[in-house]
Amino acid sequence: MKFALPTFLTNAGVQPVPGLAQRSRMAEYDQPLVWVTLLLMLFGMVMVYSASIALPDSPKYSSYRNAHFLVRQAIFILVSLAAGLVVFRIRIEAWQRAAPWLFVITLVLLACVLVPGLGKGVNGAKRWLSFKVFNLQPSELMKLVVVLYAANYTVRKQQHMHQFRKGFLPMAIAVAAVGGLLLLEPDLGAFGVIVCIAMGILFLGGINGVWFGGIGATLVVVFSTIIILSPWRRERIFAYLNPWVEENALGKAYQLSHSLIAFGRGELFGVGLGGSVEKLHYLPEAHTDFLLAVIGEELGFVGVLAVVLMFYWLVKRAFDIGRQAIAIDLVFAGLTAKGIGIWIGVQAFINMGVNLGLLPTKGLTLPLMSYGGSGVLLNCVGLAILLRVDYENRVRMRGGRL
């Protein structure tokens, strides 16, 4: 790429020297974003192996090899990276056109989960569609799709964002439809993340402040009512408030109490990689929802802090890219970037909060790190879209064309 002289210099008669054309110092893409994403995934793969290596000793996983989850996670990462490379080549305007259709398709997939014979249940929850070779979790797909849909909706309805009937109500109905299907699975955690994404994008898009406050209060009432009317959710809340009572520690708060024990054992620098005791069948499903507890036990406060800082940087970078896109009048791209930041940030915060006992136990994985194909794949696709937003920003700022 050649470096063009400013107009005022060429008008003054200054001409570029032949053979001394310079390249822009701006990189083609956001390299630190790529490296932080790769680091989180590879670090997660190591910790998934550490957390799952002893699982074949239990009857439930007796037919598995010690490296079963490591190999599958490595395959998930490779497939996710390949998907990310493909997605990176898709222009943002294509996502904007497809957003409403993607929302409808994903809504149908959420409904298919509830159809007998199509949906796959695990531990009493039906959240997966089985395709023999792999299982798809539509709620994970919806997290990404609702980012695109909410950003597209905000751009289309920009002039009506201060109105209830034309601005807020259609989006509320769409999110309510998603919530109804998720609560039937049930998956309250995913519903909470999706609500936060939609609300966050509407707020950034300029929704009326009074309506936003009213919506927030309404959601608090709705979630409180869901918990009150559900006996097992109510029991989980009471167990969370006092996890050390014997009945709770051996029941609803079993995972939480052992997660806290793991952090306590880790102290500042941890007991060493692979040295966790809690992963030896004391902390159930440590390679999925409670991976951070194993990190805390083996690598201590320092290891947990490193993970927190990487996620903080990732979310901050997403908002910086979004702000930059909006500044050059790419509003959909900017809201999409910020929406991806909200998604990653909220889900990471909830997972960390659950592991540390700051929030009631919910079945949400740690983005990019926890074991699971759908989660890692969709996280990687989301970050590839974020990388594409940044790439298009750079091309526009150079004065180039896509």
Region at 187 (left for phi over 0; alpha for psi -120 to 50; beta for the rest): beta
Q: Which residues of the chain have pLDDT under 50?
A: 1-22
pLDDT score for 123: 63
Entry pTM? 0.88
Residue whose C-alpha is closest to residue 153's, from 355, 332, 311: 332
Residue tagged 């500044």 (tokens): 327
Task: Work out whether the CA dihedral 33, 36, 37, 38 comes out positive or negative.
Answer: positive
Q: For 158-192, write each residue's pLDDT tens digit.
A: 887 777 777 778 888 888 899 888 888 888 888 88
Q: For 258-273, write each residue's pLDDT tens digit.
A: 999 999 999 999 999 9
Residue type at position 281 = H
Region at 206 (left for phi over 0; alpha for psi -120 to 50; beta for the rest): left
Per-residue CA distances from 73 to 48, 214, 314, 369 (Å): 8, 42, 22, 9
pLDDT score for 26: 65
pLDDT score for 14: 43
d(CA 372, CA 72): 9
Kindly write down the DSSP assignment for every residue of 165-197, as one continuous string: IIIIHHHHHHHHHHHHHHHHTT-HHHHHHHHHH
Question: Which residues 6+ apart lie within 8 Å of 18 measured at CB?
Answer: none
DSSP state of 130: E
d(CA 251, CA 255): 9
d(CA 153, CA 169): 12
